[in-house]
Amino acid sequence: MTQFSVTGFGPASIGNLAVGFDILGLSLSGIYDEVTLTKRTDREIKISNIKGVTQNLPKEAHKNTCGAALLAFQDKLNLNYGFDIAINKGIPLASGMGGSAASAVATVIAANHFLSQPLEKNELLEFALAGEQVASGSAHLDNVAPSLLGGLCLCLKNNKVIKIPTSSELNVVIFHPHIQVETKVARSILKDSISLNQYIEQSQYLAGFISACYEGDFNLIAKSLKDVVIEPQRSKLIPHFYQYQQEVLKVDGVLGCSISGAGPTMFALTNSDKSSLAVKQTFEQVAKLLNQSGKCWKLKINDQGAYTNEVH
């Protein structure tokens, strides 16, 4: 049996996207985790190497996001072989950029290439979710779906995912302050209930945003990209969040600014590359002023989702 390797790439993503707690996620270009699988003749799943921006990940396969995804894949498909897993993390740990989902997605998209009859991308969701669950304590689609499928994903019940159209002029900036927020902690601080008035207001933003995406209406996106439910709670975990947000929202062409996933990464959507540049400078200026370290990226939406080196 020929031994061979496949490398999968799982893009970072913005979970929640301000208006859609637990149900919306946006795939990002240019930041990703990379997972290389090498086929083994035995059935073992082994983490052989971890490098990149984060290296202190669990080495035991069933505790590791990639390993757990692959164990679920191997089990369901009755594979009589195993893999060595080499992980190259491009996404910082506990940053709110969907890193664990991206690792799981990179793993399953690579694993799929070893099948004589590869599965549809949609069919890979459940295995990536199994991996994501190991990292964040519960399986949420809002990072896994955009990382795997690309674009703006609306995550419904029973793992049903709808791709919401986005304008090619929509631009993204993310700023990652160099602190870590564990998803489990970010989840535990949330109140169990919200007021009826908050619910109504947030419903307006959500429905307005979905409509605006279909209509390509940037003015309505700007009026809708707000979070009165989760942001007020989670912003407490991000030092100076409102100072960043306030300055970013002053930039011409910015359509909204909030917390990416569970934080601490912040994101902004803009109407142009020019506006994104100004937003990036603003994040960096505020960080400098506050003497905070962090990293800022000017990005596009990734419409394609996960891919492998075999396709390109």
* Single-letter amino acid code for the residue at 291: N
Give the separation between CA 65 and CA 6, rounded to whole angstroms: 18
Residue 117 token pair: 């009859």
Using rule CB under 8 A, residue 206 touches its own copies: yes
Selected from 156, 185, 189, 289, the binder of its own copies by CB under 8 A is 156
| Distance (Å, whole) CA 199 – CA 208 | 14
Among 26, 69, 155, 237, binds its own copies (CB under 8 A): 155
For the record, the structure tokens of 207 come out as: 């429905």
Which residues have CB under 8 Å from 275's CB, separation 6+?
171, 251, 252, 253, 254
Q: How far is CA 151 from the centre of its chain?
A: 11
Contacting its own copies within 90-119 (CB under 8 A) = none
Question: What is the smallest separation between the CB atom of 191 and its own copies, expressed in angstroms?
Answer: 7
What strand order describes the sheet that includes 254-259? 254-259, 266-270, 171-177, 294-300
Cβ-based nearer residue to its own copies, 68 or 129: 129
Determine, following the binding rule CB under 8 A, whether residue 139 of this chain makes contact with its own copies: no
Figure out which of the listed residues 2, 42, 157, 291 binds its own copies, where binding follows CB under 8 A: 157
> Closer CB to its own copies, residue 124 or residue 155?
155
Could you identify the residue written with the tokens 């209509």?
215
- Is 183 among the catalytic positions? yes
Q: Is 33 helix (H, G, I), strand (E, B) or coil?
A: strand
Is 18 a binding residue for its own copies by CB under 8 A? The answer is: no
**DSSP 8-state symbol, 175:** E
Active site residue 41: no
The secondary element (H helix, E strand) that includes residue 162 is strand 161-164
Place of tokens 């307006």: 204
Q: Is 160 in the site for its own copies (CB under 8 A)?
A: yes
Of 203 and 293, which CB lies nearer to its own copies in the complex structure?
203
How many residues belong to the site for its own copies (CB under 8 A)?
Answer: 36
**Binder among 207, 232, 236, 274 for its own copies (CB under 8 A):** 207
Indicate the helix (H) or strand (E) that contains 224. Answer: helix 218-224
Does residue 188 interact with its own copies by CB under 8 A? no
What is the β-pairing status of strands 45-52 and 82-89?
parallel
> 209 or 307, CB closer to its own copies?
209
Tell which positions 60-79 bind its own copies, by CB under 8 A. none
Among 44, 59, 122, 162, binds its own copies (CB under 8 A): 162
Angle at 155 between CA 227 and CA 212, to 5 degrees: 55
Decide: helix, strand or coil at residue 44. coil
Of the pair 207, 311, the CB lying nearest its own copies is at 207
Q: Is 103 exposed, middle or buried (0-12, 13-18, 19+ CB in 10 A)?
A: buried
CB-wise, 140 or 280, nearer to its own copies? 140
Indicate which residue of 36, 183, 282, 308 is catalytic.
183
x/- binding map, residues 21-60, to its own copies, per CB under 8 A?
xxxx------------------------------------
Binding residues for its own copies, rule: CB under 8 A, are: 20-24, 154-157, 160, 162, 164, 190-196, 199-204, 206-208, 210-211, 214-215, 220, 223-224, 229
Could you list the active site residues? 132, 183
